[in-house]
Chains A and B, each alone.
Chain A
Amino acid sequence: MHYLPAVFRPVSTRLALSVPGVCFVLWLCACGGGGQPSSGQPSSFGFGRTASKAEIAAESIAVGPDGRGLPAGTGDVRSGRLLYATKCAACHGLTGKEGPAVRLVGAMGDTGKAKTIGNYWPYATTLFDYIRRAMPYNAPGSLSANEVYGLTAYLLNANKIIDSGSVMNTATLPRIIMPARKYFIPDDRRGGPEVR
């Protein structure tokens, strides 16, 4: 997993419990990836309840970069353009460039310093995930899957990433390679004397 930072903190984690006049330093033995219980704790407390498949399905709205989590549905540039005009343009501007909310549209090299979907966003799936969970601002979470696919298609087209005839769905959206993807690198700061 190349994103996993290489340097691990010391295995033991120092936690201080303060009592007036006294400072107890408690050394807890943290566990490795296997998650074996430390001594004195049961392997399970039995608190909480089992989650049902239905409630997991209802809550798990996250979409991964490989498309995991995308719901069934479809949307095209045309339907997205109409929806954008009614639900998004008031904040993001008629063409996604005017604001007052963050600028959405601007292909690589077009915008100067503004970070846009076209010049900065590394994954197209993030559009679907974010629009579905948090937009529109005045009614977050109110859009259907088809509406979100449509808006995603419209914004990708406006950023010159897909053509105007493209349709977005569970198969097509994860296959899009965003122009900025190749610029993203994991953090290489590691502590120690070198400033990075």
Chain B
Amino acid sequence: MNEEEKSARKIDRRTLLTGAAAATALVILKTASGQVIQAAGQAAQGAGPLTQTAGQSTQTAGPQDPTKVQGVPPSVLGTRSPFEQPRLIASDTSSRTPLQDLFGSITPSDLHFQRHHGGVPAIDPRRYELLIHGMVDRPMVFTLKDLKRFPSLSRICFLECSGNFRTGKPNMTPQEICGLTSQSEWTGVLLSTLLREVGVQSKATWFLAEGSDAAVMTRSIPIRKGWEDAMIAYGQNGEALRPEQGYPARLLLPGWEGNTNIKWIRRIELSDQPFMTREETSKYTYPVKDGMIRQFSFEMDARSIITFPAYPVQVEKGWIEIRGLAWSGRGTIDSVEISTDAGKHWFPAALQEPVLDKAHTRFHYLWNWDGQETEILSRATDETGYRQPTLSQLVAARGPDLGGYHLNPITAWNVKSDGRVFFKPEKWK
């Protein structure tokens, strides 16, 4: 342990709480992954003891009494506190939401996960058009202005990439394990409204959704989803969609795997069969038993993850509020259970209201930790009675060659006697 780490550990909770109350002692902790955590904020929220871990360094803001100097005047655009620097983790193909740094259930729009297949296109909303054609009575073109004239609807739901599972080493954060899920309040027009407008012919059973990115990304969607709850969304968390989320308009299929929610949507073609596009054949399909390959795997099954305490935090003995997120693409979360003894006993967590359909649901569980090394786990059950499986249950159901899609296993965190928390990766191949 180097000197910086030692000094970080010396800060006790009382100091942090006092500092938070006075809004002066700001301790910025930088994690190994480059994220910065405001420890005072965590403690003031009752997150429990210290949040620093090995590998962190500290910076302290100079003491300054904000009551003795005029603050900055109103601005034309709000800002995030410079002491708060949540970041996505970006790779060549995707970037991941810092689940462990967020509160509540809404993901700030700029922290929504990203997965693009041909980069983020620049689209002039004045030139934007959505063409709906194929097996319809009246093929039509809608401008963005047209779309906004139709009855609008807002709903909160999660979006999750079907490839949202990483494992392999103990020092992984929730963001690294399953940061390809995010939640927004989406606003737009129900696709059923547009389908009525064009007059869908009775033989149409599928529709193609096509984006205007460089991949001209396409997926075939069963039309039942179009009548059920699909939307063309143009709003996200109270403002226009972010470019990374499909500006100016995207398809939203609540509860269905992320890539089917075609961003920058330019065309919908009604058909009597799926088109067998590259993304629904060579990608987003996965091996199951007997050498077979599962296709058109749309719904995201129920899942949960404890986001606190989780790597890289370190906790102290005593009361800890275990917190996390649970969600299901098949409806509402019915219950979340917590085990603090490596799965021997399970107890119900409290669910934060409102518990919404196909939405991230925050859970809480109060735990009085005795300081002994243990494992903590969460498992979600949705309204269909589906209970989040273990990885070994998934392997048993799909066979040893199961691919990387639609994996939603129970995540275990190993709490060491010194309070450090590590992911417990399982061997599965």
Interface residues of chain A, those whose CB is within 8 Å of chain B, are 1, 3-5, 8-9, 13-18, 23, 30-35, 37, 41, 43-45, 47-51, 55-56, 59-66, 115, 117, 120-123, 125-126, 129-130, 133-134, 140-141, 180, 183-193, 195-196
Contacts and interface: CB of A to CB of B under 8 A. Distances in A.
A186 B295 contact: yes
A133 B218 contact: yes
B190 to A, nearest CB: 8
Contact of B277 (A5, A50, A129): A129
8 contacts: A13-B357, A14-B357, A31-B192, A35-B196, A35-B199, A115-B282, A188-B294, A191-B384
Contact of B273 (A13, A56, A65, A140): A65
A35 B200 contact: yes
B218 A62 contact: yes
Contacts of A121: 281-282
B375 interface: no
Task: Classify the secondary structure of A's interface with B.
Answer: loop
A134 B118 contact: yes
Interface string B291-328: 11111111101000000000000000000000000000
Interface in B65-106: none
B293 A180 contact: yes
A191 B215 contact: no
Interface in B383-417: 384-387, 389, 393-394, 396-398, 406
Nearest to B273: A64
A81 B293 CA distance: 30
A23 B223 CA distance: 30
A13 B141 contact: no
A8 B296 CA distance: 15
Contacts of A62: 208, 210, 218, 269, 275, 277
B223 A33 contact: yes
A122 B214 contact: no
A45 B150 contact: yes
A129 B214 contact: no
B139 A184 contact: no
Contacts of A129: 218, 275, 277-278
Contacts of B330: 9, 191
B229 A13 contact: yes
A126 B293 contact: no
A48 B142 contact: yes
A13 B281 contact: no
A56 B282 contact: no
Given A41-B151, A65-B273, A30 B227 contact: yes
A195 B277 contact: no
B149 interface: yes
A140 B212 CA distance: 12
Contacts of B356: 14, 16
Interface stretch (B50-58, B153-161, B173-181): B153-161
